[in-house]
A and B are shown apart, each in its own frame.
Chain A
Amino acid sequence: MDDNNTPSLDPDLIGAIFKHIWARKAHERERNGIQSTDALDSEVGAGTSKKYRPTSTNADALKLSSELLRIFITEAVQRAATIAEAEGGTEIEATHVERILPQLLLDF
């Protein structure tokens, strides 16, 4: 973020993605809520009527998240690239990512 040379992810985009994921999660939660009350023969359903309020992020948190994601992505690409190069390929395939993924996830 400090140096302007490195391209960074658009915080708005990241925010949109976050919201999309949260919305989907909330939907799933609601559906699960209905199903659970359905299972109870809809006798007790008052507890599930919580209003769904979307999660939100403030600007700084979004910026930070963007940077973290940027580092994560570059690291993943670079590591996968080394694997791909080691195999003599010029294209990063999914298998290359799978090879570095466990350690990558643990590193973050």
Chain B
Amino acid sequence: MTGQISPTRRASFWKTKRVFFVTPQVLEKDIQSGTCLAKYLVCLVIDEAHRALGNYSYCVAVRELMAMPVHLRVLALTATPGSKQPAIQKIIDNLYISTLEYRNESDPDVSPYVHNRKIELIEVPLGQDAAEVNNRLLEVIRPYVARLHAVGLIQNRDYQTLSPVDLLNSRDKFRQAPPPDLPHVKHGEVEASFAVLITLYHIRKLLSSHGIRPAYEMLEEKLRQGPFSRLMRKNEDIMNAKLLMQRSLSHGAPSPKLSKMLEVLVDHFQTKDPQNSRVIIFSNFRGSVRDIMNALASIGDLVKATEFIGQSSGKALKGQSQKVQQAVLEKFRAGGYNVIVATSIGEEGLDIMEVDLVICFDANVSPLRMIQRMGRTGRKHEGQVVVLACQGSELKGYMRKQANSRSINKHMQNGGMNSFNFHSSPRMVPHIFKPEVQFVELSIEQFVPRGKKLKEDHTVETPPFREKLSVAESDLIAKYFHSTSESTWRPSLIAFPNFQAFPSKVYKVMHSCRTEMLIDSMQYLQGLTFPGGNGNFFVEAEVSSGDCFGVGIVEQHDSSSKDLLVLDNSPVANAQLGVTDSAELPMRTIRTKEKYDEPNSGCKSPQEHSYLFGSDFVSVDALGKVLIISVPSLYFEDVMHSKHVSPSTKELQNCLNQETYHVKTPDGIMQTEAVPNVTTSQTKSTKDDTLPTPRFCETDSEKEKMLDGVEKIPGTPGGTCETPDIEEIKALPPLADEHCRDLQDTELSPRLTNLIKIGVVPESPITDSGILKHKIRNESLIPDLASPAKLGTELLLRSSSPVENERGIMDNSPYGRNVSVMKDEMTPLVKMNPVSSTKHSPSSPLAETKTPLAHLTNSSGSKSWRLNSGEVATVEHVQKFKRLRKVGNCGKARSSKSMKENSIVSVANLAKSFSGASPIRTKHGRGKKKPENDVRTFIDEEAEVSTEAEISAEEEDDDNESYDDSFIDDRINPTAGSNQTECGRVDMMAIYRRSLLSQSPMVMQSTSFSPDCVASTSKDNGSGCSSGKMFNSLQVPQLESINQPARKYTESFQMEERISSESMPFGTNDFAIENKSMQSRKRKLSFFQLETIPAINLDQEFSLESEVGGKESSKASQQPQVDKITVNENEFDDDDDQFYASLDLDAVEAQATLLLKHQSEPPIEKQEKIVPPNLQNGGLQGSPSFDLGIW
């Protein structure tokens, strides 16, 4: 045990072990502290017993042990008990030795273990320079010695043989007993003389034994300071000696000893392998160690020498720490060095392996140390000791000391009984036992260096906890933590980069900003720009609106539209028509903001909702196209959610929600389909040419019809032609993800711009300057969109400008513009020829809007998909219409029939709305979170349909609830806020409903009537119908944009119409009939819807009416598509009419159902009844379509 082991550990060792190897210091301390159980000690073996002098630990420990009533034997071993009899006696006293056994190497029991050791004494003559210097120094010494001799302090001796030790002894004598005859004043002088002499003799000794350089350095140092320099500075002889030394040093100061030593070394290594042979050179003086090292460096590779010195750091040489010393010995053992130049620390107590040659660079050392030095060799085999002695005093000293040790040996003879006093100790072994000598060979199989033993203990030690573990647990540990530290399992931070692209679910600790940074960067690195963009959008939306709407794109639109809407709201209130347009925007904003304060926008809000939906759809389409990457779908979902949230405030919103749900489901389908689309995009494009074209044609035709109706622009064929191209182009981009991303980005911006434009547009329609505004808007949009898009928008604006005279036209144009904007977005994304499409003017924009849908369908690649999307869109429109109708009906009935009811209802509605709104919001918030989660899951699983359906269902439920409330609220709000505005809204709603109803029959009239209706507040039923038809038709193809304007127009028209006339039932009846006729188509559509959208069922449950309407609309849209597919472009007009009729029928049916519901519950039941059959039909027919949806 050493001091490196902690006391607590030592204590445990003392208790558990029987044999200890302890340093004397540790033994001393542990005996004093009591941790060593001294009572049980039986035998104490002391090595190097000659150290037991003074208060060394040996002495202290033995004294402590002797003070205790302990019976123990002390066995003290030493090779060098002492150089003088008194010294040996002291050791005997200190260790309470009772018997002394002396052996020398010639004794029989030692000789077998001792190898022949050849001791060679080499006399080296003092060098010429050294001799001269020596003489000089003697010259200096002589007067001082003479002076002291005169005083009687130095005995009569030759001053040349005096040694520093002699002088020291003399000085001690002088200090203890100064001669009485010496005057006290002279004491200082004598002291100074002694000091000078001691120094000089020391230098002389260095000179003789180590050479000129150490002596010179000593002299130099002494001359620099102290009393020696004061006395000697003026001494010529010393200066001469110094000069002489300096001169010889400048010549290299070849020392005869050094050269002799090198000679011996070379001889040695010539006879022995330098790799295996080890040499130790002892020098008593550190300065000479450096000289020796320098000299050895000249020998070359044969000698790999290092120094081995003590720890104390002097001025010239730094000492070596214990660690360095141990490292040196380690390398010496391993063969890194074969020569060690050591000072006295290498003489004893060190575990130095076998050494072949020991060179004693100085001979005049004590016999003890000489014996220790010689003990370094000859242990296992023969060794050689070379003693280099300088002629003169050194040699004489050596000889004297050898004689001295011999005399001591005589004292040791015979156990030293005659020379020393011993301490008796009682016999410990009972007399009955007679111990016998047994020879047991104890061999150390493998030497383990102590330094490493500690560390190995750590690793090899089996921790105690292992015993407490079950087998399974220990197996688990072994699985990840092997016994060797190198193979310990380390978790990898880079194993799952895909999991770092989105935040992991947290338990209690939320993600830090650093984690979010990581996620963002991972998304960026992995090219998941969509998620990142969505996240950004989310953030922006949250910041801007503060609402919890999670949908980024939608939110952005909403926010932008909100601002515009806020501005527009005031003008909207003033002018109904203008208001309608503006109102749509404000409504959106209001809805998003959930501001019930502005009830005016309530009627408009549905339109806006539809508009939003349209934009959303468009975006979705674009996304869907782009979405080939699964990620976008999630975004779409989010968008949808946000949309749902906004609509929640209003009934229209409810419809929109349903629509959005539908859209969501299609999106999911789209997503699922997207993958195949990407792969087979080209093939799809070809297919699209065939199948999609009809659809496009249909949509185009519808749009064209709408346009024609309004403006009678013959751009339809061009538009249709263009659309397929666009589709193809679009189909291509999906292939490249990057393109898709770019497209998406551009799309986003265009959407925003669209919103802005829309917001501006409403204002413009009111005034003629709208064109300019539109242009400005277009320009603003232009930067975002591609230049062709600008052209297209401009063209659209131009085309709309002529139409601007009529607000309705204006509205249409803005819609068209919106559509065009959407188109522009699409176009830049697709890099199509937007100009050409835009040139076609309103029709083209419509076509463009249609095209996105078609693109969506194209992306889906399968007709079923297209149908689904179309159905969804139609469904949404239908729902919107239905809602509007419902609202209108309610409003009409309430407003016209009894204001009291309205007020009451309004109050109730308000309360409901507020309550509904808050839950909706919360729900929306949840929905958002859910969508995000869903998105993640989607990304992970890529199976989005189910989750989307669920989400949509949830949202739908919420929306439905909220819608009802919101509708009521809206109505109420208008009434409360301003009767006029309220009435207007109500009227608008009614008009919408009526128009929808009437539109179906009046399909043909729609085009020409719409402008008139817009222009004049009081509109004919027919015009209203036409407008409604137009809207319906527009809505069907364009879904969003068209629906909105149509709604607006229809609302305004319908308001008056409804108020004035009661043609609604008829229309409804007609519609019902038509619906019946259309049931087959509807059924198909419904099948698709049912199949694709599970959420629809929920919606149906919540609001059968809306669902039915949606189904019908979807059916209608599907039908037209089918028809279009079959029918040629020429036939489109007819088809369009049919489509319009179907749409109208659907709308009429929805309206009728709404009216019936509002008026009386039975009708609702009827509607419900009607709906189920449709659903059933759809289910029956939908079996094939299901497959598509499942895809």
Contact = CB atoms under 8 A, between A and B. Distances in A.
Interface of A: 27, 30, 33-34, 37-38, 41-46, 48-49, 71, 74-75, 78-79, 82-83, 86, 94-95, 97-108
Given A27-B455, A46-B313, A94-B489, A37 B327 contact: yes
B492 interface: yes
Nearest to B503: A103
Interface string B908-951: 00000000000000000000000000000000100000000000
Interface in B477-498: 480, 489, 491-496
A83 B504 contact: yes
Contacts of B495: 95, 98-99
A94 B321 contact: no
A58 to B, nearest CB: 20
A71 B515 contact: no
Interface residues of B, number: 39
Contacts of B940: 86
B324 A48 contact: yes
B328 A42 contact: yes
B327 A103 contact: no
Consensus secondary structure, chain B interface: loop
Nearest to A85: B505
A42 B417 CA distance: 49
B841 to A, nearest CB: 53
B489 A78 contact: no
Given A49-B322, A98-B491, A103-B518, A75 B509 contact: yes
Contacts of A95: 495-496
A100 B507 CA distance: 12
A26 to B, nearest CB: 12
Consensus secondary structure, chain A interface: helix
B508 interface: yes
Contact of B509 (A98, A101, A108): A108
Given A37-B324, A46-B320, A103-B504, 15 more contacts: A34-B327, A38-B327, A46-B313, A46-B319, A49-B311, A71-B509, A74-B507, A82-B507, A94-B489, A98-B495, A99-B504, A102-B493, A104-B504, A108-B509, A108-B512
B491 A48 contact: no
B323 A97 contact: no
Interface in B499-532: 499-500, 503-512, 514-515, 518-519
Contacts of A105: 493
Contacts of A41: 306
Contacts, number: 103
A74 B508 CA distance: 9
B504 A79 contact: yes
B491 A101 contact: yes
B1190 to A, nearest CB: 23
A48 B321 contact: yes
Contact of A103 (B324, B507, B519): B519
A46 B318 contact: yes
A101 B320 CA distance: 47
17 contacts: A37-B323, A44-B318, A46-B319, A49-B323, A71-B509, A78-B508, A79-B505, A79-B506, A79-B507, A82-B504, A94-B489, A95-B495, A98-B493, A103-B503, A106-B511, A106-B512, A107-B514
B509 A48 contact: no
Contact of B496 (A30, A86, A99): A99
A34 B329 CA distance: 13
B306 A103 contact: no
Nearest to B512: A107
B323 A71 contact: no
Contacts of B506: 75, 79, 107
Given A46-B313, A101-B493, A106 B327 contact: no
Contacts of A79: 504-507
Contacts of B518: 102-103, 106
Contacts of A75: 506-509
Contact of A107 (B327, B480, B511): B511
Interface centre among A30, A74, A106 (most CB of B within 10 A): A106
Contacts of A71: 508-509
Nearest to B318: A46
A95 B311 CA distance: 54
Nearest to B513: A106
A44 to B, nearest CB: 6
Contacts of B512: 106-108
A49 B321 contact: yes
Given A34-B327, A74-B507, A103 B515 contact: yes
Given A94-B480, A99-B495, A107 B500 contact: no
A95 B647 CA distance: 44
Contacts of B320: 42, 45-46
Contacts of A48: 321, 323-324
Interface in B313-335: 313, 318-324, 327-328, 331
A54 B321 CA distance: 20
A105 B511 CA distance: 10
Given A42-B324, A44-B318, A98 B508 contact: no
A55 B509 CA distance: 30
A64 B349 CA distance: 50
A83 B518 CA distance: 19
Contacts of A33: 323
- The 5 A-B pairs at the shortest CB distance, nearest first, are namely A45-B324, A78-B507, A49-B321, A106-B515, A106-B514
Nearest to B494: A102
B515 A46 contact: no
A46 B496 CA distance: 49
B515 A34 contact: no
Interface in B1132-1156: none
Interface string B296-307: 000000000010
Contacts of B318: 43-46
A18 to B, nearest CB: 16
